[in-house]
Amino acid sequence: MPRSSQGRAADARRAGELRRVIEEHNFRYYTLDEPGIADAEYDELMRELRQLELANPALVTPDSPTQRVGAQPAAAFAEVPHQLPMLSLDNAFDEEDLRTFDRRVCDRLGQPAVQYAAELKLDGLAVNIHYRHGRLHRAATRGDGAIGEDVTANIRTIRGIPLRLRGAAEVPQEIEVRGEVIIRKRDFLRLNQEQSAAGDKTFVNPRNAAAGSLRQLDPQITARRPLSFLAYGIGASSTSPPCDRQSQMPRWLQSLGLPISPMAECVTGVDGCIDYFHRIGAQRGQLPFEIDGVVFKVDEFRAQELLGFVTRAPRWAIASKYPPEEARTRVLDIEVQVGRTGALTPVARLQPVFVGGVTVTNATLHNEDEVRRKDVRVGDLVTVRRAGDVIPEIAGVDLAQRPPDTLPFALPGSCPVCGSPVERVVDEAVARCSGGLHCPAQSIQSILHFASRRAMDIDGLGDKLVEQLFERKLVRDVADLYKLDAGTLKELDRMGEKSAQNLVEAIDRSRSTRLDRFLFALGIRDVGEATARTLAMHFGDLPAIMAAGEEDLLSVPDVGPVVAGRIRAFMADARNREIIQRLQDAGVTWEIIPVTRESGSLRGKTFVLTGTLSALTRDEAKERLQMRGAKVSGSVSKRTDYVVAGSDPGSKLEQARKLGIKVLDEQSLLAMLA
């Protein structure tokens, strides 16, 4: 039955309200990084809006959140001229280049020192987004600087990009927003895992993934890719922005609803630029996205106009580049390492090569499928990348340089350490040695895990020492550690009397621990720190965990059938039970956690720690909060219940005050934990 005019008017009002609320939540999530509602609530709002628009097609507007994926696949990208060219930047590859640039700027402006806006140089794909009357009108890639490719339909799929700018009274009627489309590191890893699981080609790096995703002819493919956008400036504009310095631009762009790049600063002179370059370089590995340098722009727009442009670049800006994170070298060998759980990992032994500030001699090949997909062979010339500035990996093979006598890699059928058969479970990418703790490699790795800082914390028990102890048959399992004495230890290679005594004392200190740390130290497959803590809080003591049936284990939060099966199999194994008993006989004890309301008295509460604490380390504070059931987050949002501020707190304290979140000092925290 057709809706009455009154009903249609009500639907129109509701649709408008839903659009406003959804865009507000998009702004808070993508621009302010302060999510206001749970994902499920957001999805429910979108579902209601879609149903309204489906029932009333006349209610659909071009800037509705439901229209982010609506275009048909294109046959090709149309060309789009930029109203104001997107110029390149000159590069500075060392400090002298930067000083030369600064001298030219100062000389032309007739000033002894100049202020610069310092920004991150994002490693993504530059785009130009044209807004008309506040609505997204057209978007294009940089192209050759004058003409780009029309990627409007694809840009509309990126949720962080507003379809309509905020603050209508302040928005120019026509404005080009310049920024970078990127894929964050965590999203890149997840994307490649999904690509690999689906049998599709994985991407070499986040930049290539972002570029390839944005240049899809089918917007629905782009919509499935985890693209983000960060704005850094504007092109042509019908009216001047309400700021006269580049350092003021990010805040204004954010006020329009656009996400911006963090860590921008205003610095004075070339020494300020160099200091910023080194500070960002030191933090580069911890950034959530890839950068390949930093950009310095003369801060005053008036001074920029005086300096002008050369043919392809502005005289008032320069990009200071970091050393490349990729290098080429030869594969000398491919060896197979055996891990604590028996996982076989192929590792490429490389001709030493300098990558990202370190000399790399090994690169992980992950698993047999990955080696075959990349077709890495001994003798190949390969490109090595430090993934996330931490783990070296092979990014690609130069097939044109492949020697004619190379052979494809094949994983051995038996363990290279103990000779036990290699097994591969269906639907698992990892092949494993079936020898268990009878395999020396697995035994050594299990001992190292047991002694690690977040397990039993036996300081001084490193790889080489454990290998010596195992080879000399002084230690065959973790319980044997508690038989060692200083006299025996000082006879080992590179072990003096003092080192031996220190290790004995560290082993002795480890006899007293907590139940969750002991559980984690046992090395039960798939039982990490969080699961061990949950088990300890749920059951209270080890005998209850050892006796737990499948139904008991499945009642524990975050324990599913697979993990429950791993725990039961471990506890049922006679050798494991014997080792636990021998550890107890050696005097290893753990704090019993009473299963009371108090053990979860902070359950459901979210804490953020900032600044330096005096009575506790940050790790200790985090552990004690988690033992009471609290969640400890790294960022402040509307969902945060408390921010604990020590001395020299960072921006999290200011953010907490803006959001009205309760701030605790260290004494208040200790009182809460008492």
For strands 432-433 and 422-423, give the pairing. Answer: antiparallel
Query: The tokens 């009473």 sit on which residue?
Result: 594
**DSSP state for residue 218 in the 8-state scheme:** S
Catalytic residue (choose from 121, 297, 374, 652): 121
Could you tell me which of 616, 651, 646 has the C-alpha nearest to residue 636?
A: 651
Dump the DSSP string for 619-646.
HHHHHHHHHTT-EEESS--TT--EEEE-
Give the H/E segment covering residue 92: strand 90-92
Respond yes or no: is residue 121 known to be catalytic: yes
- Total residues found in the chain within this entry: 674
Residue 210's Cβ-count burial label (10 Å; 0-12, 13-18, 19+) is: buried
Task: Give the span between the Cα atoms of 260 and 253, in whole angstroms.
Answer: 7
Task: Give the span between the Cα atoms of 473 and 279, in whole angstroms.
Answer: 48
Dump the DSSP string for 295-359.
EEEESBHHHHHHH-B-SSSBTTEEEEEPPPSEEEEEEEEEEEEE-TT-BEEEEEEEEEEEETTEE
Task: Give the span between the Cα atoms of 49 and 66, in whole angstroms.
Answer: 8
Tell me how far CA of residue 554 lies from CA of 371, 560, 564, 653, in angstroms.
37, 6, 7, 39
Tell me how far CA of residue 413 lies from CA of 378, 420, 422, 439, in angstroms.
19, 9, 5, 15
Could you tell me which of 226, 236, 81, 220 has the C-alpha nearest to residue 144?
A: 81
Task: Give the span between the Cα atoms of 385 and 455, in whole angstroms.
Answer: 31
Task: Give the span between the Cα atoms of 418 and 470, in whole angstroms.
Answer: 14
Amino acid occupying residue 557: P
Task: Give the span between the Cα atoms of 637 and 116, in whole angstroms.
Answer: 31
Q: Which residues contact 253 (CB under 8 A, 6 or more apart)?
A: 177, 231, 232, 233, 234, 260
For strands 291-298 and 115-122, give the pairing. Answer: antiparallel
Active site members = 121
